[in-house]
Chains A and B, each alone.
Chain A
Amino acid sequence: MGLFDKLVGWLGLKKEVNVLCLGLDNSGKTTIINKLKPSNAQVQDIVPTIGFSIEKFKTSSLSFTVFDMSGQGRYRNLWEHYYKEGQAIIFVIDSADKLRMVVAKEELDTLLNHPDIKHRRIPILFFANKMDVRDALSSVKVSQLLCLENIKDKPWHICATDAIKGEGLQEGVDWLQDQIKTMRT
Chain B
Amino acid sequence: MSSVESSGDGGKWLDAHYDPVAGLYTFSSCVDLADLSGDRESRLVVGDLGTGSSGMKLKVYRGTALISENTLLDLPAGLVAFFMDLHEPRIPAVAVASGPCIYVYKNLRPYFKFTLPSLDVNPLEQDVWQQVREGQIDPVMLKEMLESIRKKADIPLSIRSLRFLSLEADEADEFVQLHKQQPIRRQTVITCIGTLKKSTADEDGISCLVIGTESTDVFILDPEAFTILCKMSLPAVPTMMDVTGQFDVEFRITVACRNGSIYILRRESEKPKYCIKLSSHPVGLVRVGKNVVVGCTDESLQGFTQKGKKLWKIILPAPITTMAPMDLPTRGLQAVLVALANCQVQLYREKNLLSTIKTPDTVTSICFGRYGREDGTLIMTTKGGGLMVKILKRTAVFDDRDSTPGPPVAQSVRLNVPKKTKLYVDQTLRERENGLAMHRAFHMDLSRMRLAAVRAYVKALESSLTPISSSLSEPLKMNAVVQGLGPSFKLTLNVQNTASCRPVMNLAISFLYDDNLYRIRNPYMRIPLLVPGLIYPVETFVECTSDKGISDIIKVFVLHEEKSSPLLTAHINMPVSEGLMLN
Residues on A lying within 8 angstroms of B by beta carbon are: 24-26, 73-74, 76-77, 97-103, 106-107, 109-110, 135
Contact = CB atoms under 8 A, between A and B. Distances in A.
Nearest to A107: B394
B64 A110 contact: no
B372 A102 contact: no
A98 B389 CA distance: 12
Interface stretch (B11-19, B150-158, B340-348, B448-456): B11-19
Interface in B1-36: 1, 14-17
Nearest to A76: B394
Interface residues on B, range: 10 to 19
A93 to B, nearest CB: 14
Q: Which of A26, A103, A110 has the most CB of B within 10 A?
A: A103
Contacts of A135: 65
B428 interface: no
Given A25-B373, A73-B375, A135-B65, A99 B16 contact: yes
Given A106-B14, A109-B1, A98 B63 contact: yes
B63 A99 contact: yes
A110 B395 CA distance: 10
A97 B15 contact: no
Nearest to B375: A73
Contact of B373 (A100, A102, A110): A100
B1 A102 contact: no
A73 B394 contact: yes
B570 interface: no
* 5 closest Cβ pairs, A-B complex: A102-B14, A99-B63, A98-B64, A99-B16, A102-B16
Nearest to A102: B14
A25 B40 CA distance: 12
Contact of A99 (B1, B372, B394): B372
Contacts of B53: none
Nearest to A25: B373
12 contacts: A73-B330, A76-B394, A77-B394, A97-B63, A97-B373, A98-B64, A99-B371, A99-B391, A100-B16, A102-B14, A106-B14, A107-B394
A74 B328 CA distance: 12
A30 to B, nearest CB: 15
B393 interface: yes
B250 interface: no
A100 B374 contact: yes
A91 B17 CA distance: 23
Interface in B365-384: 371-375
Contact of B389 (A24, A25, A99): A99
Given A98-B64, A99-B16, A99-B63, A106 B393 contact: yes
